Structure 1
Amino acid sequence: MSEPARASWLRPALTGFRDAAMLPAWVVGLSLTGVGTLARDSGFPVEVAVLSTVIVWAGPSQVLFFASIATGAAWSAIAVAIAFASLRFLPLTVSLLPLLRRPGQGFGQQLLLSHYVAVTSWVEGMRRLPALPPEQRVPYYLGFGNALIAISALCTYVGFHLAGVVPTPVAAGLLFLSPIFFIASMSAGARGWPDGLAIALGFGLTPLANWLFGSGFDLVVGGVAGGTLAFLLKRLAAARGGAA
């Protein structure tokens, strides 16, 4: 890579790293301190706890992994459970990768980019990437994602060594930081009343979905149903406006 090309990659990558390190990465990282605590309680060394954050990069799946190990579950059952728990990232990946696709981009790079997809990187990517020139999006996203993982790994390390020190209410509050930040970022990125309506309907329908389908699918069903209803209402409003 030539010097100008390297500079054109480095600048947006550093900008992405900085933007993530300003707040989003710490929100995600603090919510993962509990993973380090759980790993220690399960008898794993700190290296395994940190490595799980770097490789798995999904708090619920990491909790499922360490909790299943602690209960003596079979490795095959653990692998299947984590795979199903990670299916929630599929629609996020499908909607985000088109913003990162570039001419000549190979499958390997797309696979690498998909590894960084998480709730925070998705909502921030959907909010920030469209405003960037297409050639800057991949380095910016990689810088942003690497900041998320690096700081999360650091917080996992700290959480491992703070096991038994942090009071339970504080640990629960840290876990709650991530969904609060996700809701705030998603609301800030709403474009017009249909997006706001989709968010509101998703929240309103999730308890009903929980009652009908259980806690395993309530968020997915509530979100899809809310988004679909908002989309249909937007089309209906547009049709009526055109008819008028």
Structure 2
Amino acid sequence: MNENAEIESDAQGSVATWYLRGVRRCVSIPGLVLISAFIGFSGLAREAGLTLSQAVFMTGVVWALPAQVVLIGAVLAGNSLIAVAFAVALSSVRLAPMVVALTPELRTPKTRKWVLYALSHFVAITSWVLAMESFRKVPRAMRTAYYTGIGTTLVLVNMGVVAMVFLVAGKLPVQVTAALFFLTPIYFLTSLWGSARERAGHVAMVLGLACGPLFHIFLPGFDLLAAGLFAGGASYLWHRARVKRETVG
């Protein structure tokens, strides 16, 4: 049986079957890297004075790891509840383009809106990359079940990891905890580079890395926002100019 025939046959599979396939998809290098990053986060949360229940609750509700780090930093800085909520929301805005790209891949004429809203909670770089790399092999009608398997597995597993590591974090060397946590930005960078479908994405990443330190010097506190706007805007203009040149040529 060829691959196309297998996919057509799989389209008749049950929702549970595709959910379990989503669960199995999490057993991957990206999934292991994410777990290692949450090991580092658990140590950070413990050192920041959070309780076990607070750290686990944050993992399940906030989910995106950078937003959790922002939340801890804002709380430690003594900011008000409104300021903390705004900082976390601003940090999570970066995921909006991923939601916009993922939703059309999930939606079918019969998909209910509340299902898409619920699944958007699981959108983070790891789940997004795992799903977008696999969707071409998943029947559209089963993609919500498949992504539910990915999202719920990543969240529940890492909630368990945070709980277990929180109890033994005091026994881990600080250097080990910091090294594990540092794997997160490295993985994010390599994953986004590999999953970029347009050369403009690579241009934006290079520009962002290049101008980030400069904006940190001249616009401290707004460096990430400024670097993102500049790099994204410049890469968009470059892409439009490139497309226009190829069309004219």
TM-score by length of 2: 0.80
Q: What corresponds to 1:211 in structure 2?
A: 217
> In 2, Cα distance between the equivalents of 1:29 and 1:238?
40
User: Deviations along 1:131-185, whole A, 9 cap, x unmatched?
Assistant: 5332232122111112211221122112201222211221111111122112222
Q: What corresponds to 1:239 in structure 2?
A: 244
> In 1, Cα distance between the equivalents of 2:176 and 2:25?
26
Q: What corresponds to 1:95 in structure 2?
A: 101
Once the 2 structures are TM-superposed, how far is the Cα of residue 222 of structure 1 from its aligned partner?
Answer: 2.7
Once the 2 structures are TM-superposed, how far is the Cα of residue 69 of structure 1 from its aligned partner?
Answer: 4.9
> After the TM superposition, which residues 1-244 of structure 1 pair with which residues of structure 2 at under 5 Å, given as runs?
7-66=13-72, 68-69=74-75, 74-130=80-136, 132-191=138-197, 193-218=199-224, 220-244=225-249
**Structure 2: stretches of 5+ with no match in the other structure:** 1-9
Once the 2 structures are TM-superposed, how far is the Cα of residue 189 of structure 1 from its aligned partner?
Answer: 2.0
Letter of the 1:222 counterpart: A
Moved more, 178-187 or 35-44: 35-44
**Structure 1 pair 130–228 and aligned structure 2 pair: CA distance change class (3 A):** farther
Moved more, 221-230 or 138-147: 221-230
Does structure 2 conserve the Cα–Cα contact (< 8 Å) formed by 1:198 and 1:229? yes
Does structure 1 conserve the Cα–Cα contact (< 8 Å) formed by 2:43 and 2:166? yes
Does structure 1 conserve the Cα–Cα contact (< 8 Å) formed by 2:193 and 2:202? yes
Does structure 1 conserve the Cα–Cα contact (< 8 Å) formed by 2:103 and 2:116? yes
> In 2, Cα distance between the equivalents of 1:211 and 1:43?
31
**Structure 1 pair 36–105 and aligned structure 2 pair: CA distance change class (3 A):** same
SS at match of 2:66: helix
> In 2, Cα distance between the equivalents of 1:193 and 1:78?
36
Does structure 2 conserve the Cα–Cα contact (< 8 Å) formed by 1:24 and 1:148? no
Does structure 2 conserve the Cα–Cα contact (< 8 Å) formed by 1:42 and 1:69? no
**Structure 1 pair 162–199 and aligned structure 2 pair: CA distance change class (3 A):** same
**Structure 1 pair 130–90 and aligned structure 2 pair: CA distance change class (3 A):** same
> In 1, Cα distance between the equivalents of 2:79 and 2:238?
46
Letter of the 1:62 counterpart: Q
Paired-residue identity, %:
32
Moved more, 57-66 or 107-116: 57-66
Once the 2 structures are TM-superposed, how far is the Cα of residue 68 of structure 1 from its aligned partner?
Answer: 5.0
**Structure 1 pair 224–17 and aligned structure 2 pair: CA distance change class (3 A):** farther
User: Deviations along 1:33-55, whole A, 9 cap, x unmatched?
Assistant: 23333444455442332222112
Does structure 2 conserve the Cα–Cα contact (< 8 Å) formed by 1:26 and 1:152? no
Does structure 2 conserve the Cα–Cα contact (< 8 Å) formed by 1:35 and 1:159? no
